[in-house]
Structure 1
Amino acid sequence: MTVTEHSREVPAGLTVQAAGHRTNYYDNGDGAPLVLLHGSGPGVSAYSNWNGVTPLLAGNFRTIAPDIAGYGLTEFREDGRYDIKLWVAHLLAFLDALEVDRAVLVGNSFGGALAIATAVFAPERVTGLVLLGTPAGEFPMTAGLRSGWYYEPSPDNMRAILQEFPFDPDIVTDEMVAARYALSARPGAQEAFRRLVPEPAGTDGGTVRGAGAGFLAKVTAPALILHGQQDRVVPLEAGLFASRHIPAADLHVFGRCGHWVQLERPVAFAEQVSLFAEGLG
C-alpha cells in the first residue's frame, strides 16, 4: 500500500529500511531508549497509540515509536508472510538500523506480545519490558478484538470500535476517530489488516491464546505489567497470568481504566514507566 491523501491526518515521521520494509517511526528526546510498540486493529499506528504520552517521557528518555511492519505508514508487502517471527525480525532490524543495542520495550496489546517474543528470542537486546493490556494465557474472544476483523471503513464504524477500548468512551475524540479512519480507508488497507490477523473462529469468536506459562517463564528481563481493571478487550486475568509466570514481574492495576492505560491515565502511566526504567540502571 502507498500513503495517499486519506492519511494526511496522521503526520509522517522518519523513515528507515528494516527487514525489507520501508519503516515509519517517531524519535524524540534523549537518554536511555524506550521503544514504544503499538497494538493491532484497523487504522492503528504508533502516532495514535503514543503521541499523547511521548512529551511526558521524552524529557528523560529517547522515545522511539515505530509503525510495526504492515501497520500505520510502514510498508505492507503483498508477498510478506506476517507472523511473530517476521515482526521480531523486523523489530530487531529496525533497532540495528538505528544503532540501538538494548532498549526497554513498551508494548500495548499486540505490541506487548511482540515485546515478549523479542525478549525470549533476543534477550540480549532487551533491558526491560513494560506490558499494557497484553494477551497472556487463554480467554474468550472479546467484542473489541473480534470487531476489527469485520470492520468496514466508515467514521461511524471506527468510532463504535474505538469506544470498546476505554473505560470512559468519551475519551474517544473526533480527532482520534478521524486519524484512525483515515488510515483504515486507504485502498486495500482493511484487506491487508485481515491478512495480518486470523479471522475469529466460530460464531462466538472462540478462544484467544496469548503467551503460555512456559513461554513467559523464559523471559529473563525485568517486567512491569500495567493493566486496566475494566479492560473489556484483554481482561485483567491476562495481566494476572503474565505476572504469575514472568519470573521478575511487577503488576500495577489501574482502576476505572480500560485497554488504553497510556491514553486513559497518561500521567500515571508515564510515572510508572519512568520509575521502572530508571530503576534498571
Structure 2
Amino acid sequence: MVEIGKYINANGINTHYHEAGQGEPLLLIHGSGPGASAWANWRLAFPALSEQFHLYAPDVVGFGTTERREGQDYSIDVWVNHMIDFIEAIGEKKVSIIGNSFGGAIALHLVYRRPDLVNRVVLMGSVGNQSTLSAGLDAVWGYTPSFDNMKNLIKIFSYDQSNAANDNLVEMRYQASIQEGFQEAFSSMFPAPRQRHLDAMALTDEQLKSIEKSVLLIHGREDEVIPLEETSWEIARLIPNAELHVFPHCGHWVQIEKTEEFIAQVIGFLKRTKAVNAV
C-alpha cells in the first residue's frame, strides 16, 4: 500500500481510495483523528488483508486527498451517503465493512439504512450508540496543530507509550494534519460543545436491535478515546448477531498496537460467518 492511490467519482465527489487483492469485497472506513486518512489508518493491515479479500479503502469526504468542496457541510448523513455512493461507484453489489471509531459509526448507519449493500461488519473502537463524550475524544476533536499537541494525542491513543516517544511517528502524523486543507476541514467538523456531534452519530437502541447482519466488535481494554464499557459493550448487547473481542494492554489503536492479532480476528470472523451464512 502506498500513500497515493486511485480516484473515482462518487456522485460528484472526486474520491481518493486504495485498492488491492481479490475475492470478497471488503470496505475499510478510517477514523476521525487529525490527519486521518485511509493510508494512515490501514497501512499496516492492508498487505495481509489483501491476501484474503478485495480491499477498498477510501478517504471519507473531508479527509485525506478526497475532494474538499468549498463550503462543504459535514455530518453523519454526508459521510454515510458518501460511502453508499462510493460502493455504487466501484460497482460492488455487496461489501463487508471494517469501520474504525468514527468509521464504525458510519458502518452502523450504513448497514441500518442499506442492509442490501452489506454482508458482514467489523467495528473497531467504534462509536454509534448513546454514550458520553470522553476527555480523550474531546482532545482529539479539539486538536490544533503542533508537534507537542500531536505527541499528547498519541499518548491518549496508545496503551504503549513508546509510540508517543517515537518522534518519527509523531512527525508523520503531525505533518499529515497540516497538509493543505486538512485542518480547515477538520476544525469545521467537530466544534465545541462536542457532545452533540457524538449524539448525532448514535443510533437508538431499537435501531441497533433491528440490525440482523453478523457483527464483530473489537476494542482495546484501555481505550481512553472511546471507552469500552459505554460503547462496544453496549452495542454488542443490543445487536442480535454481535460478538465482542477485547484486547488487553491496548488503547484506541488496535490495528497498530495489535496488528497481527487484529488481522487474525478479522479473517477468522469473516471466513467463519461467510461459511455459516452460506449454509
TM over 0.5: yes
Contact kept? 1:231, 1:257, Cα under 8 Å: yes
Out of 187, 194, 199, the residue aligned to residue 192 of structure 2 is 199
Deviations 1:124-155 (A, max 9, x none): 00001100111143333222211133322122
Partner of 2:121: 129
- Residue identity matched to 2:167: D
The residue aligned with 1:145 is 137
1:41 aligns with 2:33: yes
Residue 89 of structure 1 corresponds to: 81
Give the aligned residue type for 2:12: G
The answer to whether 1:219 aligns with 2:204 is no
| Offset, 1:267 | 0.9
Residue identity matched to 2:172 = A
Tell me the amino acid that sits aligned with residue 251 of structure 1: L
Confirm or deny: 8 A CA contact 1:103 1:126 kept in the other structure. yes
CA separation of 1:167 and 1:113: change in aligned 2, threshold 3 A = same
User: Which runs of 5 or more structure 1 residues have no equivalent in the other structure?
Assistant: 1-9
Q: Which amino acid aligns with 2:234?
A: F
The 5-angstrom pairing of residues 1-281 of structure 1 reads: 11-172=3-164, 173-201=166-194, 208-209=198-199, 210-237=202-229, 238-279=231-272, 280-281=274-275
Is the CA contact (8 Å cut-off) linking 2:25 and 2:54 kept in structure 1?
yes
Give the Cα–Cα distance (whole angstroms) in 2 for the partners of residues 149 and 242 of structure 1: 22
Question: Is the 8 Å Cα contact of residues 16 and 97 (structure 1) preserved in structure 2?
Answer: yes
The answer to which of 86-95 and 208-217 deviates more is 208-217
Moved more, 246-255 or 86-95: 86-95
Superposition deviation, residue 169 in structure 1:
2.1
Secondary structure of the corresponding residue to residue 131 of structure 2: strand
Runs of 4+ that moved beyond 4 A: 205-208
Q: Which runs of 5+ in 2 are unaligned?
A: none
* Greater fraction of residues in helix: 2
Distance in 2 (CA, whole Å) between partners of 1:160 and 1:12 is 28
Normalising by structure 1, report the TM-score.
0.89
Q: Which amino acid aligns with 2:233?
A: L
SS of 2:156's partner is coil
How many pairs are equivalent?
A: 269
Counting aligned pairs with the same residue, the percent is: 39
Structure 2 distance, partners of 1:74, 1:54, is: 19
What SS does the aligned partner of 2:157 have? coil
Q: Distance in 2 between matches of 1:21 and 1:215?
A: 29
User: TM (normalized to structure 2)?
Assistant: 0.90
Distance 1:215 1:132 in 2: 19
